[in-house]
Structure formats: structure tokens, C-alpha cells
A and B are shown apart, each in its own frame.
Chain A
Amino acid sequence: MSGAGPIPRLAFRSVANRQLTALLTILAISLSMALFLGVQKVKEGAEASFEQTVSGVDLIVGARGGDVNLILYSVFHIGSPTANVTWQTYQEIDGLPEIAWTIPLALGDSHKGFRVVGTTDAFFEHYEYGRGQTVRFAGGGAFGDLFDVVIGADVARELGYEIGDQIVLSHGIGAVSFSQHDNLPFRIAGILDRTGTPVDRTLMVSLQAIEAIHVGWQSGAPTQMARAVTPDRVRALDLQPTQVTAFYVGMSSRTALLRYQRAINTYREEPLTAVIPAIALRQMWDVIGVVEKTLSGVSLFVVFVGLLTILTSILTSLNERRREMSVLRAIGARPWHIFALLVSEAALLALAGGLLSLVILYGGLALGGPAIESAMGVRLMGVRPGLLDAAAILAAVACAALLAILPAWRAYRNSLADGLTVRL
């Protein structure tokens, strides 16, 4: 007496025999599953890139305003602050006991549509993204001279810049700016490795350089005096910064984080806002995530449609296979063998489709991943087949088997009713 014995093999041979139908069914399933898994990967990548943009930063401090606005301009360089933070306040907070480091940010200038950030070497030392990665130089190094600029990977690639190139910064943040700081050209001193964060699309100069290019400027416009400024004259000036736009804070002890946030939010000398980026980004993602959830839902639906093709193909073949079932019965197959045969066939198709979807997905990522990464700023290259894929395939197989219960039940009933006499 045999158990399931010959059934899996028979199911395999039966599926393999109907090459064209099987192939089309498998293709439908694999494409739908590749879509679903692809959406999941992009979602994961996007979420991780988003939430880990400033993973090493404990607090971001700016002038009093909305949390979201502060994050947007200080991290993503979107929008502008309503006010700045005075240098004195920055210095005071920087000197507080449990603050390990700060990275000042001076925003407001641009270069060919890319934002310019005034900062210090602390940026290259302390800025962390992803899982604790610090920025690395693909070439060159940090600021050595007043007119040194360090550029992000996208800036270098899109504008074709190399170390040593001379560039001119623009006042304001429009793509086309009419106020050029063209009397004070900068030299590209360093190019950063790709980070998958907004840093890739940023040019960094020292805070002193920001002061320098604004010598003679008043309320955002150059005066007569600004025109006369030359690099040599500027070098002779005292370029002590008077304000920063915002600053990142790293704490030496996380336990003090909430206390410090409260202290800064109620700072007496100046109205300030301090946000914890990990929490704020998480909350922002929950809002943005609606899009991604919709997309997941739609792609899940497509998978279901793919699985329905299995059901259709089995149901339509049922009548022409009635004879085959009664032959199996005559040979000694039990009715549940017939049932199991059809369920196994469906599961097999889903399994093949699922495995093929991995080939399509990861093949596609290997080929098109870099393009997607740079186009969307989503980190995908680290994506490997994982538990999610295994679970998705398993679920698809289970779902197909479940759907196949309908035709299998019909075949089971037929095989009981037909006896040896199938009336065709």
C-alpha cells in the first residue's frame, strides 16, 4: 500500500507534459510575483534609506518652527528656515557636558541646482547614515583651504567634475541664479563616495567660506563693496561666522536625549526647535508610507490574478482529463490521489512561478539596480534573496493549493461517480 508515493512525480510529469500552458501559467505567476517582491524591495530600500539618512545624529536643532520643516531643510535640503541660530547659541549648546559633537550647517547657496552646505570638518568625522556608515572620500580630502569645496557623488557624476576643477557658487537656491559669487571661485578638493542620502547631491564648503562669499552682501543682495572683493582681500578678513542655519548633535549619552531636547526647546536666549530625527523620520515615513501600502496592495492583487490563471488552466483541463482520472482509479489510485494530483500540480506551478520570479527580480536588480538607485536614491544593491521571498513563495504555493481544492474536489467527485465508465 502506498501513501502519497507516486503523486508528486505524476504531478510533475503531467505539468511538464503540458509545456505551453504550464509555461504561460508559470510566466504569469512569476511576473506577478516579481512585481510584488520588487515593490517590497523598493519599499524596504526606500524606507531604510529614508529613515537612516542621518542615523548617527541624535538631535537636529534649528530656529523655532515645525519639526517637519526643520527635518526637510536640514536633512533633505527642501524648503528654507524662517530664521537662523546665532553663533553664540550654537557655541553654548556645543559646549554642554553630554554633547559629544555638533555639525553646524549653513544653507542658502547653491551650484547649478545643487545645494551648498557650509559646515566644518566635523561633518566628515561624525556624520553617519545607514547602519553607522561614515562618509568616505572617493578622491581628495576635506577642506584644506578657504576656497576648497567637497562635492557629493551625484554632483560629481552629473556635472562631470574632477578634483582640482574650479567652480563658482550661486546665491540663493534656484536652479538658475542670477547672483553669482563669481569673484570668488572654489576649487574641488574632495569627492565623496555615494551614500544614497541627500549628501550625494550636496556641495560642502567651510563656514568661513560661506562668510567669505557674503562679504559685502546685505539682506541677500550684493552691495557695491561685494563686487570689489577678491580672494586675496577676503583671506585677510576675520571670517568668524555669526550664525548657522541649523546643527546636528551627537550625544555622549542617549539617556540625556529627551532632557536635552526639552532644554533646547525651552532655551531662554533664543527660540529653538530640537527634533530627534529617528522619531521624526519614522513619523514622516508613516505618512509617506500610504503610497507604498497602496502599491503593495495593488501588486498583491496582481499576484492573486496570477494565481487565478492556475485555477483556470486546471479547471479547463478537467473535462479532457476525466478519462485519465478513471484510468488512474482503475490502476489502483485512490480518490484522494486524484485530489492530491491536482492540488500538487497547482502547487508545482506556483512553486516554479515563484522561483522564476526570484530569477527575474534579482536578475533585474543586478542589471537595472544601479540605474534605479541613482534615479530614485533608493539603496537596492544590498538586497539579497531573503526570508520575505521564501515566505512569499510559500504563501503563493499554499494559496495555489488552496485554490486548486475547487477543481480537485470536482475531479474527486467525478472519479467516485464515473466508476470505470466515463461517458465522453
Chain B
Amino acid sequence: MVDISGLRFAWPGGPQILNIPAFSLQAGERIFLRGPSGSGKSTLLGLIGGVLRPPAGAVRILGADPGAMSGGRRDAFRAGHLGVVFQMFNLLPYLSVVENVLLPCQFSERRARAADARGGRRSEAERLLGRLGIGGDLLARPPGALSVGQQQRVALARALIGAPELLLADEPTSALDEDTKSAFLRLFLEECEATGSSLIFVSHDRTLAGNFHRTVDLDDINRAAA
């Protein structure tokens, strides 16, 4: 699913923050990636997601090499195969809840077709949202009218629509309080299981680690760590 070998990265003008000789993720595997703040977790997700350009050959996803792709193909690849959830502000304030969920289908034919195959993209969006406890008149609301916990679930539905093979979650629970956090994590893992997606779940919160197939400490795989 994901194969990293000899990945090095430094932000322009900054020190090398990532030097990962080898790391891999199996299909369907859900891993917990932890590390202190500023250790480079988000940067690594950016490289895997192809938002940042990895050096050619360093990152392989589903057998493809995003580092060797043109910018456009890399973006299309990400749109088609990856779902991303951030810590907060995941949603576009000017689209309704359900429109936000449908957005990936507008940027990716593949995701659109996959959602259509499950009975139409809109009903698929509503189904996912419903499973996550969001329905009724919330669907047409702007995301600003929702609680942070609800917004994160909408973001999750958006990451899941069209069943992308790989989900990247960057501290999606950090903005949630204890109760909503565990409920959200449970839903997240259930849905992940249901779509069969692999997952890299990033957090600095060790207490969550028990729910995953495997826990990876970034400092253990990253030689650039001081």
C-alpha cells in the first residue's frame, strides 16, 4: 500500500527533518503514527499525500510513484485514492454539509464513479453522514452551524466517500473533548473497516494507540530526529 525507502526532506531553508530509510504499510492496515509536536508528522503526510513533492522513488503508493508524476497527475492521484482529515477547519464554509462531503467526487472521476456505484453519490454521502450520526436538516446547513465534533464527522464522511484506498488523518481528534474523542475514533475505525481503507492516523496522544493494528513512533523510523 505505502512503501517508503530513503525518504529525505527539508523545508526550504530549514534543516533536514525527515530521513526515513524504510517504512511500509500493508493494504487494510490501520496504524497509529505518533510523535511530539514539530517532529514532522504532518510533513510526512504531505509527502505521502503528494501535496509536497517527494523525491522520485522514495514514496510508492499502490505501486505508483507520486514523486515521478507531473504535478497534475499527482493531484489527480491524490484526489482519486486518498482521503484526508485534518485537526480542524476541514470544511469549506460556503458549501453545505452534504456539498462538502460530495466535493471529492468533483475533483475525481474515480471517486465519483465509486460513489455512484454504491447507489448514487448523493445518497452515498447521506448514508455515510447518517452512519456518523449526521442527518435531517443538518445536511443542508453550513458547516459553521455544527459543533466541532460534528464537523470532524463531516470531514470523515468526505474522506470516506468514493472509498479511497488510503486515509490520512492528521490529529483529527485533537480539537475534541474526551467523550466525543472516543466516540469519533470508534466511528472512524468502523468506517475504515467498512470501506476497507488503509489508515495512517497521526496524533501525539498515546492513549489512542490501543485501537490500531500497529503503533509507529516517528522518531523510531526517522533518522533525522535529533
Contacts and interface: CB of A to CB of B under 8 A. Distances in A.
A420 B90 contact: no
Contacts of A2: 106-109
Interface stretch (B19-27, B43-51, B189-197): B43-51
A112 interface: no
A38 B71 CA distance: 48
Given A1-B76, A324-B92, A334 B71 contact: yes
A228 B94 CA distance: 90
B72 interface: yes
A323 interface: yes
B155 to A, nearest CB: 9
Interface stretch (B57-65, B77-85, B125-133, B205-213): B77-85
B93 A324 contact: yes
A330 B108 contact: no
Interface stretch (A12-20, A54-62, A287-295, A398-406): A12-20
Contact of A5 (B80, B92, B106, B142): B106
Contact of A327 (B75, B76, B90, B142): B90
Interface size on B, as a range, is 20 to 34
A418 B47 CA distance: 12
Interface residues of A, number: 27
User: Most B CB atoms within 10 A — which of A326, A327, A332?
Assistant: A332
Contact of A1 (B46, B86, B109): B109
B94 A16 contact: yes
Which of B91, B106, B109 gathers the greatest number of chain A CB atoms within 10 Å? Answer: B106
B52 interface: yes
Contacts of B45: 420
Nearest to B74: A334
A337 B84 CA distance: 18
Contacts of A332: 75-76, 78-80, 104, 107-108
A243 to B, nearest CB: 79
Contact of A420 (B42, B75, B91, B107): B42
Contacts of A334: 71-72, 75-76
Q: Which applies to chain A's interface (DSSP): helix, strand, loop or mixed?
A: helix
B4 interface: no
B84 A17 contact: no
A335 interface: yes
Contact of B106 (A6, A16, A324, A326): A6
A319 to B, nearest CB: 13
A297 interface: no
Nearest to B81: A332
B124 interface: no
Interface in A1-38: 1-2, 5-6, 10, 13-14, 16-18
Given A1-B76, A1-B109, A335 B71 contact: yes
Given A331-B104, A332-B108, A420 B89 contact: no
Given A6-B103, A419-B43, A329 B51 contact: yes
A96 B90 CA distance: 90
Contacts of A420: 42, 45-46, 49, 51-52, 84, 86, 170
A278 interface: no
Contact of A331 (B12, B46, B107, B170): B107
Nearest to B99: A13
B1 interface: no
A17 B94 CA distance: 5
21 contacts: A1-B108, A2-B106, A13-B92, A17-B93, A17-B142, A323-B89, A324-B93, A327-B86, A327-B90, A327-B92, A328-B92, A329-B75, A330-B49, A330-B86, A331-B107, A333-B107, A334-B75, A337-B107, A417-B12, A420-B46, A420-B84
Given A2-B108, A18-B94, A324-B92, 19 more contacts: A2-B107, A14-B92, A323-B89, A324-B93, A327-B89, A327-B92, A328-B92, A331-B104, A331-B107, A331-B158, A332-B78, A333-B79, A334-B72, A335-B71, A419-B43, A419-B51, A420-B49, A420-B51, A421-B42
Q: Which 6 A-B pairs have the closest CB atoms?
A: A332-B79, A17-B94, A419-B46, A332-B107, A6-B106, A330-B84
